[in-house]
Amino acid sequence: MARDPLPAGVETPAYLYDVAEVRRCYALLRQALPQPSTVYYAVKANPHPDLLTTLRVAGANAEVCSVGEVDAAIAAGFRPDHLLYTGPGKRSRDIQHALELGVTEFSVDSRHAIDQLAGLAAAADRRVRCLLRVNDDLAVPGPGLVMTGVSSQFGVDLGAVLADPAGFASRPNVEMAGLHLYMGSNIDSEDALVAQFTQAAHTAHRLADALRTRWRVVNLGGGFGAPFARSGVLPRFPGLADRLGATLDEALPGWRDGTPAITFESGRYLAATCGALFTRVLDVKESHGKRVVVLESGVNHLGGMSGLRRLPQIAPDVELAGTPSETVGPAGPAQVSGPLCTPLDLWARGAELPAVRPGDLVRVANVGAYGLSASLVTFLGHPLPTEVVVDGGQIRSSSRLTLTRCPLPASHGGTDG
Ligand SMILES: Cc1ncc(COP(=O)(O)O)c(C=O)c1O
């Protein structure tokens, strides 16, 4: 855990990041993993340019899941072919942007996503590799978020791939090069990690047989736990490298020579312990027998929506906002998720929804209060929505909020000058 004091002259509230701690965490994770393997930094954990540069120089690749994260990684000097572009729903224009920048590896979560990527790669005259994200049959036990064995926006059900292997074969401009088997996050038990990676390795073996292929890449995911907003140190996994190495020898022989290349992803293990939020007490008082401490920072600076208990659970009515392009079956219940690369991006588990298909326009009414301004707008780097104001049917204004990083002079703790 980084223990640096707040440098003199820095105005609070302030986050302080220690990149030496980032290098230490990266080295610890590398030691814990079987070699050869590659670690992708999950940019969603903290896209600060200095963290990205530190991890790039240390040897990490980058896992990105929005156009903002692609741009942040490229700006930090990552080679485009060292990026893995993931996410359960990608806008075509964002894929086009990534292709123009030279990104060559994409994780895909459905047949539609493979076809979408193939069409765009062909139009751009690019050949790309994709990793098929698979939603395995078993939920992996552990304290963190579970992303497999349950209904999810992430990946294709294992059974669906086994039932129609040809549907997941390479396309002219897209090589089906590997698998993406991210199963959960924030796991601090070595046994639980070994269990999930063993499961993933056996699934990779099974799918190689079914698709009659030899994987070039198997991304086993990650989920390496770290403390959050409480004191504590990183968990260690002293036996993981050997135990997992033995499993890989059995399930994916050839991995020691790089076929398949074994890759992992980690966000919090690499970034959590490097940062501290410094803030000041503004007031202390007694209220009905309790001490109340008022700080400069609240959920606006840490914890986000989880602290905003005045908001009711969201259960939006999603209605069609245009003529559906085609009738595609009956209305019925559906899980409604967004495009963010986290299972928490969920509007409803079982909402009644009309029949819809990619491209249809939908609408949620009555969100003028606690809508955009109560949202976690910087998390994951997607562009903000346009805001259009109409008056009597006439457009009064159309705008989009932007956020800009402003370098501060040295008196504020900046480095320039
Ligand atoms: C696909 C994928 N990779 C990496 C991560 C990063 O997880 P963590 O910060 O727990 O390492 C996540 C988190 O949700 C994820 O969904």
> Among residues 111, 104, 107, which one has the least CA distance to residue 127?
104
pLDDT for 249 equals 98
Q: From the CB of 222, is ligand 1 less than 6 Å away?
A: yes
- For residue 150, report the distance from its CA to the centre of ligand 1, in Å: 17
Residue 309 has pLDDT above 60, yes or no: no
pLDDT for 190 equals 96
Q: Which amino acid is at 64?
A: V
> Regarding predicted confidence, which is higher, 300 or 231?
231
Who contacts 154 (Cβ-Cβ below 8 Å, separation ≥6)? 88, 109, 133, 135, 147, 148, 182, 343
* The ligand 1 atom nearest the CA atom of 45: 9
294 confidence band (pLDDT: 50, 70, 90): confident
pLDDT for 158 equals 96
CA distances from 179 to 21, 213, 222, 247, 264 (A): 31, 12, 14, 17, 12
Q: Are the beta carbons of 383 and 68 closer than 8 angstroms?
A: yes
Q: From the CB of 266, is ligand 1 less than 6 Å away?
A: yes
Question: Nearest C-alpha to atom 8 of ligand 1 is from which residue?
Answer: 267
What gap in Å lies between CA 85 and CA 103, rounded to an integer? 8
What gap in Å lies between CA 94 and CA 100, rounded to an integer? 10
Question: Nearest C-alpha to atom 1 of ligand 1 is from which residue?
Answer: 182
> Regarding predicted confidence, which is higher, 16 or 138?
16
Q: Which of 341, 344, 346 to mutate to test the pocket of ligand 1 (most atoms within 8 A of CB)?
A: 341
What gap in Å lies between CA 375 and CA 364, rounded to an integer? 15
Residue 125 has pLDDT above 80, yes or no: yes
330 confidence band (pLDDT: 50, 70, 90): confident
Q: Are the beta carbons of 351 and 315 closer than 8 angstroms?
A: yes
162 confidence band (pLDDT: 50, 70, 90): very high
pLDDT for 83 equals 98
pLDDT for 31 equals 98
Mean pLDDT over 314-319 rounds to 76
Hey, which of 29-38, 306-315, 367-376 has the most confident mean pLDDT?
A: 29-38
Euclidean distance between the first and the last CA atom of the chain, given in angstroms as a whole number: 29
Q: From the CB of 45, is ligand 1 less than 6 Å away?
A: yes
What gap in Å lies between CA 143 and CA 2, rounded to an integer? 25
Structure tokens at 184: 């959960």
What gap in Å lies between CA 235 and CA 221, rounded to an integer? 17
- For residue 157, report the distance from its CA to the centre of ligand 1, in Å: 19
> Which residue carries 């995911």 as its tokens?
221
Q: Which amino acid is at 76?
A: A
- For residue 256, report the distance from its CA to the centre of ligand 1, in Å: 25
Q: Are the beta carbons of 12 and 296 closer than 8 angstroms?
A: yes
Residue 292 has pLDDT above 80, yes or no: no
- For residue 43, report the distance from its CA to the centre of ligand 1, in Å: 9
- For residue 183, report the distance from its CA to the centre of ligand 1, in Å: 9
Mean pLDDT over 78-106 rounds to 98
Quick one: CA dihedral 236, 240, 242, 245, positive or negative?
negative
- For residue 322, report the distance from its CA to the centre of ligand 1, in Å: 35
Q: Is 10 left (phi over 0), alpha (psi -120 to 50) or beta?
A: beta
* The ligand 1 atom nearest the CA atom of 144: 10
* The ligand 1 atom nearest the CA atom of 147: 16
pLDDT for 383 equals 83
* The ligand 1 atom nearest the CA atom of 182: 1
pLDDT for 417 equals 38
**What is the SS3 assignment for 231-293?**
CCCCCCCCCHHHHHHHHHHHHCCCHHHCCCEEEEEECHHHHHHHEEEECCEEEEEEECCEEEE
Calculate the average pLDDT of the chain: 89
Q: From the CB of 182, is ligand 1 less than 6 Å away?
A: yes
Residue 328 has pLDDT above 70, yes or no: no
- For residue 265, report the distance from its CA to the centre of ligand 1, in Å: 7
Indicate the pairing of strand 174-180 with strand 217-222. parallel
Q: Which of 179, 265, 266, 376 to mutate to test the pocket of ligand 1 (most atoms within 8 A of CB)?
A: 265
- For residue 341, report the distance from its CA to the centre of ligand 1, in Å: 8
* The ligand 1 atom nearest the CA atom of 270: 11
> Regarding predicted confidence, which is higher, 235 or 377?
235
Please list the residues that pair with 124 across neighbouring strands. Answer: none
Structure tokens at 162: 């086994």
> Among residues 237, 238, 260, which one has the least CA distance to residue 248?
260
> Regarding predicted confidence, which is higher, 109 or 403?
109
Q: Which of 33, 148, 182 to mutate to test the pocket of ligand 1 (most atoms within 8 A of CB)?
A: 182
Structure tokens at 247: 């499993």
What gap in Å lies between CA 258 and CA 20, rounded to an integer? 30
Q: From the CB of 186, is ligand 1 less than 6 Å away?
A: yes
> Which residue carries 């790669």 as its tokens?
121
> Regarding predicted confidence, which is higher, 409 or 190?
190
Residue 416 has pLDDT above 50, yes or no: no
- For residue 185, report the distance from its CA to the centre of ligand 1, in Å: 6
Q: From the CB of 341, is ligand 1 less than 6 Å away?
A: yes
What's the predicted TM-score (pTM) here? 0.90
Hey, which of 7-11, 129-133, 307-311, 402-406 has the most confident mean pLDDT?
A: 129-133
Full set of structural domains in the chain with CATH: 19-274 (3.20.20.10)
> Among residues 59, 22, 53, which one has the least CA distance to residue 263?
59
Q: What does the DSSP assignment read for 14-30?
A: EEEE-HHHHHHHHHHHH
| CB crowding 25-58: b at 16 or more within 10 Å, else e | bbebbbebbbeebbbbbbbbbbbbeebbbbbbeb
- For residue 411, report the distance from its CA to the centre of ligand 1, in Å: 36
- For residue 220, report the distance from its CA to the centre of ligand 1, in Å: 12
pLDDT for 306 equals 61
> Regarding predicted confidence, which is higher, 146 or 345?
345
Please list the residues that pair with 332 across neighbouring strands. Answer: 353
- For residue 409, report the distance from its CA to the centre of ligand 1, in Å: 34
pLDDT for 234 equals 95
> Which residue carries 């967004």 as its tokens?
338
